Amino acid sequence: MIKNNVEDKVTISGSHSSRFMREIRVAWAIATKDMLTYYTKPAALMFGILFPFTLFLSFSIGRDIPLAQQIPMLIAQTLFFASSSIGPVVIPMERANQTFDRFLTAPVTLLSVLMGKTLAGIIYGVGISIIPVIVGVSFFGSQIVNVGALIACFALSSLAFSALGIMFASIPGQTPGQVMMPLNFVRIPLLFISGIFTPIGDLPTWMQVVSLLSPLTHTVELARYGLGTGGFFGPIINIAVLGGYAAVFVFMSVRFHILNQRKE
């Protein structure tokens, strides 16, 4: 009897492990497909690369700030826009092509699909945002003084912002513009309360409280800690807040898509 119970537990544990590994393989396959298909689409290039770089140049040119101190601002903007742009580009286009629906009729779970989309956004955001780091270190005298803070910045921010994009992509629509419009109503205001254009220490007290609630604030600060240009709230608070937002956005993205599928 005891032997049979042990064998049953081992079998159940093995089945759960096998199922988990299958979910990971499916998610990676979906992410790879999205990388090959959608990374060079005009909408992804415009909202993920051109928009943050153009915005950065428009607010940085002519300001009396050394370029080495502006690199963390560019890192934060590219992570924010690039990571959060893939889901709102991919999912509406796949709805229009009925690819998204075919995923769900196949032996693939919604969780696997969303994991793959989120992973594609993470890789896109990190890949784009590494470029400012390389350029800053190679040409403008930036120095990586805290590797842990920089890794936390890339890992937590890309996850949080990619999940944010997936969450907004639950809005019914078959074109990226139908999702990007409401998403930008959230993204653009965050730029002005997150210490990118105005240091948080120079803001009034009530604005400092508001900036504490912005996930982008903590991306900027971790990038600054990583490159040795300082911060306001401290890396522990930055990591805690970003980690909390990442968990909330992942949960809400899955929840909203489940509710959307039930309505359909």
| Stronger pLDDT, 79 or 259, i.e. the higher one | 79
The residue with greater pLDDT, 106 or 123, is 123
What is the model's pLDDT at position 47? Answer: 79
Task: Tell me the pLDDT tens digit for each residue of 118-171.
Answer: 999 999 999 999 999 998 888 888 889 999 999 999 999 999 999 999 999 988
Q: Angle at Cα 111 formed by Cα 118 and Cα 213, nearest 5°?
A: 50
Residue 257 exposure: Cα atoms within 13 Å on the Cβ side: 29
CA distance linking residue 150 with residue 12, whole number of Å: 40
Query: Which CA distances in Å does 35 have to 80, 170, 179?
Result: 18, 20, 20
3-state SS class at 153: helix
SS3 144: coil
Sequence-separated (6 or more) residues with CB below 8 Å from residue 162: 83, 84, 86, 87, 117, 118, 119, 120, 121, 122, 125
pLDDT computed for residue 79 by the predictor = 94
Closest CA to 86 of 112, 134, 115, 125: 125
- Residue 210: pLDDT above 50? yes
Please tell me the distance from the alpha carbon of residue 124 to that of residue 38, in angstroms, as a whole number.
10
- State the pLDDT at residue 8: 43
pLDDT score recorded for residue 264: 61
Q: Reduce the secondary structure of 34-52 to three states and give it as a string.
A: HHHHHCCCHHHHHHHHHHH
102 in Cβ contact with 249 (< 8 Å): no
Convert the pLDDT of each residue in 10-61 to its tens digit. Answer: 344 455 667 778 888 888 988 998 888 888 888 788 878 888 888 777 777 7
Number of neighbours of residue 261 by Cβ within 10 angstroms: 13
Cα separation, 106 vs 183, in Å, equals 30
Tokens standing for 89? 């580009």
| Domain locations along the chain | 13-263
**Alpha carbon distances (Å) from 161 to 11, 83, 166:** 38, 6, 9
Looking at the predicted structure, is the pLDDT value of residue 262 above 90? no
Report field, pTM of the whole predicted structure over 0.85:
yes
Closest-CA residue to 235 (of 211, 217, 214, 208): 217
Burial of 122 (0-12, 13-18, 19+ CB in 10 A): buried
